[in-house]
Structure 1
Amino acid sequence: MKNITIAIDGFSSTGKSTVAKQLAKHLGYVYVDTGAMYRAVTYYAMQNGLISDLDFNKEALIYQLPNIKISFKFNKTLGFAEVYLNAVNIEKEIRTLEVSSYVSKVAAISEIRQKLVEQQQQMGQDKGVVMDGRDIGTVVFPDAELKLFMTASAETRAERRYQELIERGDDVEYKDVLDNVKERDYIDSNRKDSPLKKAEDAIEIDNSNMSLDEQFNTILQLAKMTTEDCE
């Protein structure tokens, strides 16, 4: 069976990573969480005092890009690849609401996008890859055989994210999560470089009322049909 490239784009907290991991595992494909790459750069900026509520030293972050080494290492116990920044596992650290509050600003910087897009294209050059993010079907892999665009209401996405953070033990308020979701939607959709938008040939999936199983089975069937069409 011929391997294909599967590009999954969409708004924050639409479950892109969850279904991408499931799909990659089922198909035996490589999974790349591009959002985690931008979160890793954001975490680096936070750790080095380059971004806060009061200031964002973009020039310093761009200058230090050569010092930022991002990699993925598969964790057999968890069943997916974790994110490493300069050889340190930061999978848990980058999933906080604080990182979420800054990541869209970091991702809007053209120099950072260029660096990470090049890495992402290298990761998927042999196909057999499932990649999720904001610009996979429009910029990273415009020729991907299957493009999906995930969406759901802001309230639904905020509730999912809120429950996820609470289960992790984070002390957060639903309103703060909802505000963050709406702010990220605006920044992602209105940035000048590679704004979040649905590719013309992408299949839109509104999972507001879908269970995880329904979502997975729907997308798996699309992947199978696309693969058969490419034979």
Structure 2
Amino acid sequence: MGKVIAIDGPSGAGKSTIARRLAQRLGFSYLDTGALYRAVALCFLKRGMHPDDGDGPLTEVVKTSGVRFDKGKVFLGDQDVSDEIRTPEVGHYSSVFSARKVVRDFLLEVQRKAAADQDVVVEGRDTTSVVFPDAWKKFYLDASTAERTRRRYRQLKEMGLAITEKEAEHDVVERDTRDQTRGIAPLVKAKDAIIVETTGKDVEEVLEDILALIKD
């Protein structure tokens, strides 16, 4: 396995942006694990699956989903679904379906294979605690709820979605609750992860903070 830099944190903390930029600066590959979960959720929705469906049907669908992450894009088979997975509905069901063991077990293998023979920056919600517990470097990005709400609202508006700031806040808080209280691989701060506060900082400031920590 190559070097793995694992980044966890709640929704809106800046994980995807920072991980992508960090990978570019270091010449590492980039893996967005959250996008994989969103893609699986989208696949379930397209096939009419429900979160309460049994393990058998869910396993059959996820194994034939063709989900993969390639050069910063996420695919279901040959279809690029990178934009389609970013809606609030898919985000909601991603969090719900991610609590199912069959989904996490399947994607655990997908994620580890992605780092088998290359240096990679990977981000998600359990990358430092479950997926890559022995990662070369571990970081936990955090920000205030207000800051994360502003980022989420701006992201959805830029996508052309009709949403209010109140709805964006509800989305963030609800996601936090589900991620932190699910029975399987909840969002936690790994004991050996370095906490990086991103509130009030732009991308370059956070990036430089992390690069300095890596060099130490």
Question: Taking structure 1 as the reference length, what is the TM-score of the superposition?
Answer: 0.88
Task: Look up the SS of the partner of 1:142 in the other structure.
Answer: coil
Unaligned runs of 5+ in 1: 75-80, 226-231
Task: Look up the SS of the partner of 2:134 in the other structure.
Answer: coil
- 1:37 aligns with 36
Native 8 Å contact 2:36 2:69 kept in 1:
no
Matched, 1:66 2:63: yes
Residue 182 (structure 1) aligned to one of 173, 179, 204 = 173
Matched, 1:137 2:128: yes
1:127 positional shift:
4.7
**1:46-102: CA deviation from partner (whole Å, max 9, x where unpaired):** 111224xxx74354323322211112232xxxxxx1111111000000011111122
Which amino acid counterpart does residue 57 of structure 1 have in structure 2? D
Task: Look up the SS of the partner of 2:196 in the other structure.
Answer: strand
1:164 positional shift:
1.1
Measured in 2, the distance between the counterparts of 1:192 and 1:222 equals 32
- 2:158 aligns with 167
1:138 positional shift:
0.7
Map 1:19-30 onto structure 2 (within 5 A).
19-30=18-29
Distance 1:6 1:207, change over 3 A: same
Native 8 Å contact 2:68 2:75 kept in 1:
yes
**1:125-183: CA deviation from partner (whole Å, max 9, x where unpaired):** 23511000011111111111210001111221111010111112111111111111111
Native 8 Å contact 2:125 2:187 kept in 1:
yes
Stretch deviating more after TM superposition (150-159 or 30-39): 150-159
Native 8 Å contact 2:44 2:61 kept in 1:
no
1:122 positional shift:
1.1
Distance 1:198 1:217, change over 3 A: same
Measured in 1, the distance between the counterparts of 2:104 and 2:141 equals 21
Compute the RMSD of aligned alpha carbons.
1.4
Stretch deviating more after TM superposition (3-12 or 59-68): 59-68
- 1:111 aligns with 102
Native 8 Å contact 1:162 1:177 kept in 2:
yes
User: How many residues were matched structurally?
Assistant: 214
Which amino acid counterpart does residue 174 of structure 1 have in structure 2? E
Question: Taking structure 2 as the reference length, what is the TM-score of the superposition?
Answer: 0.94
- 1:224 aligns with 215
- 2:203 aligns with 212
Measured in 1, the distance between the counterparts of 2:204 and 2:100 equals 36
Measured in 1, the distance between the counterparts of 2:108 and 2:115 equals 11
Task: Look up the SS of the partner of 1:18 in the other structure.
Answer: helix
Map 1:78-89 onto structure 2 (within 5 A).
81-89=72-80
Moved over 6 A (4+): none
Measured in 1, the distance between the counterparts of 2:139 and 2:93 equals 26
Native 8 Å contact 2:63 2:106 kept in 1:
no
Map 1:117-156 onto structure 2 (within 5 A).
117-156=108-147
Native 8 Å contact 1:50 1:58 kept in 2:
no
Unaligned runs of 5+ in 2: none
Measured in 2, the distance between the counterparts of 1:9 and 1:72 equals 18
